[in-house]
Amino acid sequence: MIPEPCSHPNDELMPYSDDDTEEEPDTGVTPDPTRSNGESRDTVRRDYSWQVKANDQYFHQQPQFKSPMLLGFKRSKYKGNAIRTYKYNPITFLPLNLLEQFKRAANFYFLVLLILQSIPQISTLSWYTTLVPLLLVLGVTAVKDLLDDIARHRMDNEVNNRRCEVIREGRFKSTKWKDIRVGDILRLRKNTFVPADVLLLSSSEPNSLCYVETAELDGETNLKFKMALEVTHRYLQEEGAMANFDGLVECEEPNNRLDKFAGTLLWRNSRYSLDAQKILLRGCRIRNTEFCHGLVIFAGADTKIMRNSGKSRFKRTKIDSLMNYMVYTIFLLLILLSAGLAIGHTYWEQQVGNWSWYLYDGQGFSPAYRGFLSFWGYIIVLNTMVPISLYVSVEVIRFVQSYFINWDLQMYYPEKDTAAKARTTTLNEQLGQIHYIFSDKTGTLTQNIMTFKKCCINGHRYGDSRDGAGQLQSHPQEVDFSWNLYADGKFSFYDHYLIEQVRGGKDPEMHKFFLLLAICHTVMVDTSDGQLQYQAASPDEGALVTAARNFGYVFLSRTQHSITLSEMGTERTYDVLALLDFNSERKRMSVIVRESGGNIRLYCKGADTVIYERLHPSNPKREATQEALDVFASETLRTLCLCYRDIDPQEFEAWNGRFLEASVASTRRDEALDQVYEEIEQNLILLGATAIEDKLQDGVAETIARLSKADIKIWVLTGDKKETAENIGFSCELLTHETIICYGEDTSALLQTRLANQQNPTGTSSHPSLGMKDPSFQGTRDRALIITGSWLNEILLEKKKRKKRKRLKLKVPRVEEEKSQRAEPTKEQQQQSFVELACECRAVICCRVTPKQKAMVVELVKKYKRAVTLAIGDGANDVNMIKTAHIGVGISGQEGMQAVMASDYSLAQFRYLQRLLLVHGRWSYLRMCKFLSYFFYKNFAFTLVHVWFSFFNGFSAQTAYEDWFITLYNVLYSSLPVLLVGLLEQDVSDKLSLRYPRLYVVGQRDLLFNYKTFFLSLLHGALTSLVIFFIPYGAYLKSMGQDGEAPSDYQSFAITAASALIFVVNFQMGLDTSYWTFVNAFSVFGSIALYFGITFDFHSAGIHVLFPSGFQFTGTAPNALRQPYLWLTMVLAITICLVPIVAQRFLAMTLWPSESNRVLQHHGANGHQWRPHPTAFHRGIPSRRSAYAFSHQRGYGDLISSGRSLRRKRAPLDPGIPTFGMLDP
């Protein structure tokens, strides 16, 4: 057995990503030597378990394709195409929703409490005191869940009811997406979405090419091409042939690998190999192809886009979890209090109750049994310690906060008519606690629009705002391209001097420069509405060809062996002798053409690192161009070098022979071609360089700067190349010139050193201080980590798994198994060490990562840092990451909506994230914390009065208040002020929240709501309850009313304590309110007025006559509250409760002001607006130019060279413009 060679990971390759292992069965089957040319070239035929028969639904209903279900039923393993994200239907809504709600401990507790209250022996409270709040909670929550689920139904119906043409009864008929099945034949039209994963059979394009846009998958708008098998292209063009097609596809099971597919097509006794280039994925959009036909392979939940969506996770906030633990703490406290009071009742019965004849109730219960009944009685009486209205109030606050986000006009994007949207109502306060943001790049940070900004030609830099004489302009003016009939109206340029030089035609190097841009590329051209339309394999290449077009060098058409240009109005055709296409290792492309005079010339463009190695020794403009490259790099532009060389005909003939020989090589063809390319791409003459701007979305740099000041770390996770991702890092100021960048190899070395020190702590090491908790970097300098997906797999030991081949089993020591067992803890240590190291960096950029790796990185940070994470993206490849993070944000307004559908919040632009977090998130956290702290306080102040009363009623579980007061206290009398604080509270304005991002830190550190604040609320409530009980008790102890009657009866005492409590808790809420409005003031005083209004009504004689058993405090309030003595008692209680709080708040604001207090005091003097730091040119900075992202794979070079992409005839342009057809030679 030959061991696999060990090598460093390839930074350019996208690593393998799948949930399953790749099976490699050693079948020993050899290929049939008589197979046709279209058959698979695999040396081993794979065994595939997924079989699809075209136009035969009975085939998929066979028993072997069914899997068992519950109760012996079976269902087909082939999924339908309908997508379902909703949870309920009209039949299941009520039972399922109630089941979910009663899974909450508090709801279930109150249901048990309601049952206990129906037992007369243990209940001293009426059943309605629990039923009314419980029904209110269940009803409000059910309505909210219903509205959320209706929205999901609508979205599902919108997708499932889209239409496409499907073969039915031998004809193409319009069919809904949800009715599409595996094995159906589809016809897809131009600009429509692909409804399932389909095998491309044929199209309207030459050789059945099909151009697709994958914005729905990855956010990229540049076109990609697919191509059908030659045999299906030839025979499956007509409707009748489609209806009679009976091919059998055998392929891999459904998986999440977007870029891989393996299978075979068995048709007409021949077998044909299938790969990813022949598959159209669900979510792609057909472009530049009038129609195409396909066979459905995977449908619905089996499609790759749905497989990449990850598992839907139930998300809950940190405050939710903490609140649940606090409720459990209250449960425990309730049980302990009830048990203690029950023991007190048992003791009282033994000492007093049994010896007091006037207390005999006719029941011969023992003191212990009476104590047992008293325990359950106190569980009922003290139940308000566990506030049932807490949950419904939290739901209402979150629901309204979500609408505040939806209604925020400052997060509205008018260009796309798109507003921010809170797609969930349960995570708002978590927006104020984010530690890490994981962002996609393409379409999230950038617009995926490349623009030609500057260039260097023959050592001279162009692109600054200058007039025709070369003088700098203070007010930039766009260049007028109206002289050029082919000019693209969207192209903007501000250097008039360059235009004058080009139109002057005096500089031959300038002519060669723009000629190279127009001729050295793999762009495809088409016409639409009489205008040229370019389709490029990458947006960079399209930007360069468009720039050449506007400067007068227009690419018009091409054939397999020629290319036609318009050079300053003169049409010329060049013979294309060879096209040396780009790949990620070469980082350059070349074209060899024969000019009209017979001269043979090679034009080449590529990254400066590879071009400068191949330049002729005598290049006088080499240094000047290098300086220009450094200037462009300092401005975060993507650079590219242009060069050429003349080739002698004899040299070309000799090289062309080697080129043709390499082109038909049966093995290692790509390596052979690269070697031949290397021979001719030597001794190049430098023409200059281009500078392209990968345009960021507006406000990205400002947003990142503000979020960084809020102590939020931002990681970029992208599938782009390393150089491209690094360049964007500088553009958005994640990276600066002072940043020390650590790459994959550096990270691997650091982690190996740390792991060695952990395993041998007493041994010697070059870095003995490195440990699990020790910093990986020495010093405090600004550092960033840039790592590729291949290095990530290598470092985290996430290597590609392969199924073991069957071999002869010998009895040997189990060394491999022991090594595997030892490797497991090493893997966890390695992952934890990597997370610790990465989190020491100011910024982290992970490039060439797969959707699964994005989710893995987020999961690792959640696991080892226990930090609150947010993921933001715009494509289907971000869905897994968005679902994994605590909060997922989708960028809407783009063509791809998969990320939005899976997200918790959607925004139109990345820049709105700062307002979502620093304003809405911080306010939501502040409001929720104030709400919870006050809610627990007012309930403890209310409930613990019963405990103090117990010492004076023989621990008999008698209530200190009227039953209706207990019922309405949390519902009406004290709910509105705290609810409005939870909705409207602000410590500082939105402008100051953005101006001072450090205000955000309190949420990250959980400073406003934790167990400390909970116990402080408990203590505060307990002290308030002592005052509420004992001040009236002391006042009533020996007193006499004005009419000679003692006001110290139980009912008068209950009214006095209740009235004092209402004043105290509402005024306390007023003291806790920072942002006063008319609504807040009305709620505080309105709640007090409402209490007295209802109380006087309930104590009236009229209602007692109607309901004598339900209203027993007849006349109590009118009689008691006319006594000035009682009002003075309430004033005393209110004063004792509130004056210490006022004094404490004054001292705290004076001696220990909070961050928000300091901002309010000094924002005028210390406020400043964020401004981007001007980037100056620094000599000696390391080169960080992009190696020119032609594409992530080879371009259209093979298609052009083979002629497979070219039509016989093209539609003409506008009548006034001459037509240059694309004619095959």
Q: Backbone dihedral region of 719: left (phi > 0), alpha (psi from -120 to 50 degrees) or beta?
A: alpha
Q: Is residue 730 helix, strand or coil?
A: helix
Residue whose C-alpha is closest to residue 388's, from 1071, 943, 930: 943
Whole-Å CA distances, 1196 to 20, 202, 560, 589, 1183 = 32, 19, 12, 12, 30
CA distance between the termini of the chain:
52
145 is catalytic: no
Q: Could you give the count of Cα atoms lying within 13 Å of 490 in the half-sphere of its Cβ?
A: 9
Residues 6+ apart with CB under 8 A from 581: 522, 589, 1194, 1195, 1197, 1198
Residue 1023 CB coordination number (10 Å): 16
* Phi, psi for 820 (deg, rounded to 5): -65, -40
b/e code 329-359 from CB counts within 10 Å (16+ = b): ebeeebeebbeebbebbbebbeeebeeeeee
Residues 6+ apart with CB under 8 A from 755: 826, 829, 830, 833
DSSP letter, residue 40? -
Which residue is listed with tokens 């279930």?
108
Residue whose C-alpha is closest to residue 132's, from 1092, 975, 977, 968: 968
Q: Could you give the count of Cα atoms lying within 13 Å of 355 in the half-sphere of its Cβ?
A: 5
Alpha-carbon distance of 148 to 898, in angstroms, equals 18
Gyration radius of the chain over CA positions: 38
Residue whose C-alpha is closest to residue 696's, from 652, 730, 651: 730
Per the CB < 8 A criterion, the answer to whether 384 and 133 are in contact is no
Alpha-carbon distance of 227 to 1056, in angstroms, equals 85
Provide the greatest CA pair distance for the chain.
Answer: 131
Residue whose C-alpha is closest to residue 1202's, from 206, 369, 163: 206
Alpha-carbon distance of 48 to 54, in angstroms, equals 17
CA angle 121, 126, 128 (to 5 degrees): 140
DSSP letter, residue 1040? -
Residue whose C-alpha is closest to residue 690's, from 558, 498, 488: 498
Which one from 11, 145, 184, 440 is the annotated catalytic residue? 440
Which residue is listed with tokens 């995977």?
298
Residue whose C-alpha is closest to residue 484's, from 555, 436, 553, 403: 553
Pair type for strands 209-213 and 223-227? antiparallel
Pair type for strands 740-742 and 783-788? parallel
Residue whose C-alpha is closest to residue 397's, from 982, 822, 849: 982
Per the CB < 8 A criterion, the answer to whether 934 and 981 are in contact is yes
Residues 6+ apart with CB under 8 A from 640: 540, 544, 605, 606, 607, 608, 689, 690, 692, 1188
Torsion of CA 247, 248, 253, 258, to 10 degrees: -20
Q: Is residue 186 helix, strand or coil?
A: strand
Residues with catalytic annotation? 440
